[in-house]
Amino acid sequence: LFSWMRVARIVRAETLSLKEREFVLASEGLGAGKFWIITKHYIKNVFSSVLVASTNSIASAILTESSLSYLGFGITIPNASWGGMLDGAQKYIMTHPSLAVYAGACILITVLCFNVLGNSIRQSYDPKARR
């Protein structure tokens, strides 16, 4: 519910930074309209930052859900959750430690994949990286 504020701060900071750049000032000086400047300059340059922040927010949501489920405040037992699996594996940690290792490894791999995905999206869509 409250994770949109981080993305909004990033968009605001990027937009304020772009507002003072030479190519935006040149477009305004040449008489380009506000809609054209927004679509051609602002959205194009802010898009990669928003995608990276979104993928990081997804990874953060996965970690939050699994930790809440592990503590007993998240998804209940009939439904599957990696945090619930870790909580259930805690009883058998001495006899079957692989139960906890598999659930923890799945969380780790998923979060790392979302971070790598965000980084690769940033590299492919960032106009500054194309130089």
The string of pLDDT tens digits covering residues 92-105 is 888 888 888 888 89
Q: How many CB atoms lie within 10 A of CB 118?
A: 20
Q: In the prediction, which pLDDT does 109 show? A: 94
pLDDT at 121: 82
Q: Residue holding tokens 């906890």?
A: 100
Residues of the chain falling short of pLDDT 70? 1, 126-131
Q: Is the pTM of this model over 0.85?
A: no
Q: Which residue in 45, 63, 47 sits closest to 3, CA to CA?
A: 63
Q: What is the reported pLDDT for 128?
A: 66
pLDDT at 112: 93
Using an 8 Å Cβ cutoff, are 104 and 86 in contact?
Answer: yes
Residue 38: what are its φ and ψ, rounded to 5°?
A: -65, -45
